[in-house]
Amino acid sequence: MFRYSLRIFAAGALAAALFSGCAADRGLIKKECRFESGRIYFAAPTLLPGTTVEMKTPGYWISRHPYPDRLIMSPDEIVDFNSGICRLTGVIPDIPLFPERISRKAFSASLRRQLERFRRGRYYRSDGSAADNAFYSPIEENMVLFGPGAADIDVRFAYVVHNADQRLLPVKEGLNASPGDADFDELQNSSLGPGTPVAVLHTSRDGKWHYVSSTVSEGWVEEGRLAFCGREETRDADSVLDFAVVTAARADIYLDSGLKEYYDYARMGDRFILKSAAPAAVEIVLLLRARDGRLKRASGYISIDEVNRGYLPYTPRNAIRQAFRMLNTPYGWGGMYGEQDCSQFIREVFSVMGIKLPRNSSVQAQVGRPLACDPAKEKEKCFSRENGAAGGITTVLTNGHIMLFLGTEGGRPYAIHDGWAYRVRDAEGKDEVRLVNRVAVTGLDLGEGSSKGSFLNRIKSLRIIAGDLP
C-alpha cells in the first residue's frame, strides 16, 4: 500500500536567471546576451572548453566503455527497481492505485501554503512590476480554498490529451525571481505529455484549471488539455504489454497513416498502446477529448524510426545513445517551451529502458547505488573503474543540477547534461557567465577558478542507476 501525500516537485535548474535576448556585436569577439536589468553575459563557444568534435558523438564514449553491451538490469529487475523508487519517494506508483478520497482540509492547507510562499517572496510579473495583492487576490479567489468543515474530495481521473504545462498556481502569466528572467518562470512546475494518466483533485472556480497529480509531479493544468475517464480506464497506461516507446528526442503524432495531418508531439520515453506497424509508421491508440470532455479513442501514427516496440534493453550503449539523441536541444526550465531541464533530460533517457526515475534532481540523486567519493580529496578515485563509475549508468549531482557521466579522457571526467551556464574568471579576476542553454558534453572541471568552482568540486553524490551490478 502507498499512502497519498501531497507533494510539490519543483523544477530543477542550473541558475536562477535567464537572458531575454542575445545580439552579436560585430565589434566584439564574444556574443553578448543582455538582460533587461542591464547585466551582460556571454554566449559559450559552440565547442566547449576541454572538448573535441569527436566527443560530441555517442560512439566516442561507447568505444571507451569497459562493458557497453552488458545488461545492467533485466526487465523483471527494473520492475523491482521501480517499486523501490516508489517506496523511497512515497509516491503512488500507478494512478489506478490513487485513493478514492482525500482530505480536503489537508489538501486546501497545502495549496494555501504554496500561495503564501509566493506572496511572502518577491517576484516580478511579465511587465517587470512586482507581484502584489492585485495579482494574488484574484488567484486566491479562483483557487476556492475551503475551510476546515468542508467534505473530503472525491478523486476523479483523466488523461492528458495534449502537451500541458503544469503550474504551481492556476494562472498562465509567469512570475520571475528578478525582472527580465522571462524564461525562468517560477510558477512552472513541470510538463505532461499526451497519454499521461492523472488523478484530478480540484477544479478552479472558473472551471478553466484542474489540479492534477501524475506519478511524478502535481500542479494545475488547463481544462482543455484533459479528457475525463473512469479509474479502470487509467490501467491501460502501464498494463498493456504491446506498446511503442518513443526513442527520438521528439516524435510527431499524426492522425493519418500518410503522416500529413499533425496532432501533437511526444517526448522521449513516452509510451503508447501499439495497434499495428507498417514500413513507414506505427499505428497507436491515441487518446482524445470528446465534446463533452470525456475520453475517446482514435488511431494515431508515428514515424517508425522514432519508436521502438517495447522498452530498449538497459545497457550502457543504449543509455549513451539515447542521451546523445538530445544533444544540442535547448534547455527549458520545468519543461517550458516543450523543452527539458536537467532532471527531465535524465528522466527521459532512462524512461526509454523502462526505468521510472523521479522528476526532481535532488530525489533522483537518492536513486541507485551510491559510489564513495570525496572530490575535495580524491578526484581521480571518484570516477575510476575500481570505484564502479561507468558511462551511461552513473548520475552526478551538484547543488541543484544533475548530469550523466560518460567516461574519462586524460584523467578528466566528462558528462552529458542539460545546463544553462558556467562561470570563468576574466582578466580582472571577476566571474564571467557563459551561456550554454542546451544539452552538451562538458568536462566536469568546467568552471574551475571561478567563485563557484568547477562541477567536480561541487559534487554532492554519484549513483549507479541499478542495485547490485550483475
Model pLDDT for residues 375-417, shown as the tens digit of each residue: 667 766 889 888 899 999 999 999 889 999 999 999 899 999 9
Structure confidence at residue 35 (pLDDT): 43
- As a whole number of angstroms, the distance between CA 131 and CA 268 comes to 36
Burial of 259 (0-12, 13-18, 19+ CB in 10 A): middle
Structure confidence at residue 127 (pLDDT): 92
Query: Residue 23 above 60 pLDDT?
Result: no
Residue 4's pLDDT band (boundaries 50, 70, 90)? very low
Model pLDDT for residues 221-231, shown as the tens digit of each residue: 999 999 999 99
- As a whole number of angstroms, the distance between CA 390 and CA 306 comes to 27
Question: If you average pLDDT over residues 7-20, what whole number do you get?
Answer: 36
Query: Cα 451 from chain centroid?
Result: 28
Beta carbons of 396 and 445 less than 8 angstroms apart: no
Structure confidence at residue 40 (pLDDT): 62
Residue 39's pLDDT band (boundaries 50, 70, 90)? low
Residue type present at position 395: T
Of the two residues 385 and 133, the one the predictor is more confident about is: 133
Query: Residue 36 above 70 pLDDT?
Result: no
- Mapping DSSP onto H, E and C, the string for the chain reads CCCCCCCCCCCCCCCCCCCCCEECCCCCCCCEEECCCCCEEEECCCCCCCCCCHHHCHHHHHCCCCCCCCCCECHHHHHHHHHHHHHHHCCCCCHHHCCCEECHHHHHHHHHHHHHHHHHCCCECCCCCECCHHHHHHHHHHHCCCCCCCCCEECEEEEECCCEEEECCCCCCCCECCCCCCCCCCCEEEEECCCCEEEEEEECCCCCEEEEECCCCEEEEEHHHEEEECHHHHHHHHHCCCEEEECCCEEEEECCCCCCCEEEEEECCCEEEEEEECCCEEEEEEEEECCCCEEEEEEEEEEHHHEEECCCCECHHHHHHHHHHCCCCEECHHHHHHCECHHHHHHHHHHCCCCCCCCCHHHHCCCCEECCCCCCCCHHHHCCCCCCCCCCCEEEEECCEEEEEEEEECCEEEEEEEEEEEEEECCCCCEEEEEEEEEEEEECCCCCCCCCCCCHHHCCEEEECCCCCC
Angle subtended at Cα 267 by Cα 262 and Cα 269, rounded to the nearest 5 degrees: 130
Structure confidence at residue 18 (pLDDT): 28
Beta carbons of 153 and 101 less than 8 angstroms apart: yes
- As a whole number of angstroms, the distance between CA 465 and CA 355 comes to 9
Domains of the chain: 44-73+314-464 (3.90.1720.10), 91-235 (2.30.30.40), 243-309 (2.30.30.40)
Structure confidence at residue 63 (pLDDT): 98
Residue type present at position 144: V
Structure confidence at residue 146 (pLDDT): 81
Beta carbons of 308 and 366 less than 8 angstroms apart: no
Residue 148's pLDDT band (boundaries 50, 70, 90)? low
- As a whole number of angstroms, the distance between CA 217 and CA 186 comes to 15
Range in 276-285, 293-302, 307-316, 430-439 with the lowest mean pLDDT: 430-439
Beta carbons of 237 and 260 less than 8 angstroms apart: no
Question: If you average pLDDT over residues 262-282, what whole number do you get?
Answer: 97
Structure confidence at residue 32 (pLDDT): 44
Structure confidence at residue 468 (pLDDT): 58
- As a whole number of angstroms, the distance between CA 362 and CA 41 comes to 28
